[in-house]
Structure 1
Amino acid sequence: MVLLGLTVACGAPSGPTPPPAAALRVTTWNVQTGAHDPDEWAPVVADLRPDVLALQEVCTRDAEGLAELLRRDHGLEYAVVRGPIRPPSPAEANAPVNAALGPACDTGPNDVLYGVAVLSRLPVGPPRIVTFPPDRRDEQRGYLSVDVTTPAGPVAVLNSHIGLDGVQSDQIRRLADGAARPGPTVVLGDLNVDPTDPDLAPLRDGFAEVDPSGEVPTTDRGKIDYIFLRGLVAAGPPQSPEVTASDHRPLVADVRVGP
């Protein structure tokens, strides 16, 4: 039986638990681009060795740089699926809250290369990028959807970085609607809500969580990063290793294909 996994360690001195034999490992991580860079992220990723890695707050060139470091220094081959969350109109691109997204990655406001990305050791299909309705108080948000081909068949992967200031309910609902499709699906990302927030209901109604009790913190403020599963079953407890390469910890768990 093929396993799909996400590896999250709780800061144990011995390091993250290795994946089970024949496991697939998926990880979500907000890498805080600008404050940190691929040279810092690569050793963490190489230690975790995920098959599918969802990144948030990343410049697409840095996702590509990370993949190159993993290949060169650690012998790990990853395909990069770019998911820049581009403002949907020139006026919104040049709004103050979005205009900073270009310079964050050394580009202009009309050539945004900032947002989310997926790195995969497995074959991947073409990306689909969906933007949420713009909010003048916050940068443009959205999600990246891609199909990953596993030995057990295709798995849909949705990666998102949800906004702040009251937009969570609408954006999480839109993310859940986008994930409403047949077949095994994993939804992951920085959702910017804590485990008690009712805004998570649209995802909890159709998906299982790898950490349903919300006991695994992913930041110093607690848990705001999540992995939701449909058609997949957790094969062990999630982990969340403490790191210095971001203000978030990677969230990882091992899961198997199943009901």
Structure 2
Amino acid sequence: MSNMLDTNKLTLSEHVFNQFKSLMFKESGVTLSDEKQVMVKARLAKRLRQLQLSSFEQYLKLVKSPDNRQEIQHLIDALTTNETSFFREAQHFEFLDHQLTSFSVTVPLRIWSAACSTGEEAYSLAMTVAENRCHPDWQILASDINTQVLASAGLGMYDMSRASSIPRNYLIKYCLKGVRSQAGQLLLSEQLKQHIRFILLNLDGELPEIGQFHFIFLRNVLIYFNETKRKQIIDKIVAKLRPGGYLFIGHSESLRGITDLLRPVQATIYQKC
């Protein structure tokens, strides 16, 4: 007889759900709406199975224990959403490519993918810069709050089905097709990887000494924060953007009323004054 936990029989009460919501807000700044209760139940149920716990109440007690701070990261990993693709919102990469041809810098060109998820955005940026060839010395910082997606991003290996949005010339030049045990997989070249550094970073916390950037991609992130947190995060992001540098946000996001240090250039693209 199987001893596997039947997660379908688990109940996530509103009281316990609200405590998970409060924990996520405290630890990451992310606001979970009431509509996310089903999602929270499904994702945390997987962690309960791994830990062989029989209730969400048990897991809540564990994650709140000061002796189990590492479990907070598991909670964040489980409840952060990571939806991305190569060259997502293609107009941003077209704009970047155009700017690179006329962007004069006397220091290494630096780009920050501030919520890189599984890495597709960072590698898309790397392919764009490498192909442009206007800047021989360049670096990309790719950060995320989720350790699981960062580990995946560092590998630079993806299912071949995800390659459809990569321009064919980039695909030929910067990607390798897996064979034998890696058949059906796509591997990004070491030529790109050497320019990218992946780090764990919480945008809601105090930012580490990461320097300043010419371009920052902060796309589809602000939607997970309330108005106060959005302003706090943008203030920190703008401080890391060089004068004249550009900030990119998601198509469903806006900086209206959040900062007067940036001017809109076109939809979802802003320049530091």
Aligning the two structures, in what range does the TM-score lie when normalised by the shorter sequence? Answer: 0.3 to 0.5
The structure with the greater share of residues assigned to strand is: 1
TM-score by length of 2: 0.34
* Highest RCO, 1 vs 2 (Cα 8 Å, sep ≥ 6): 1
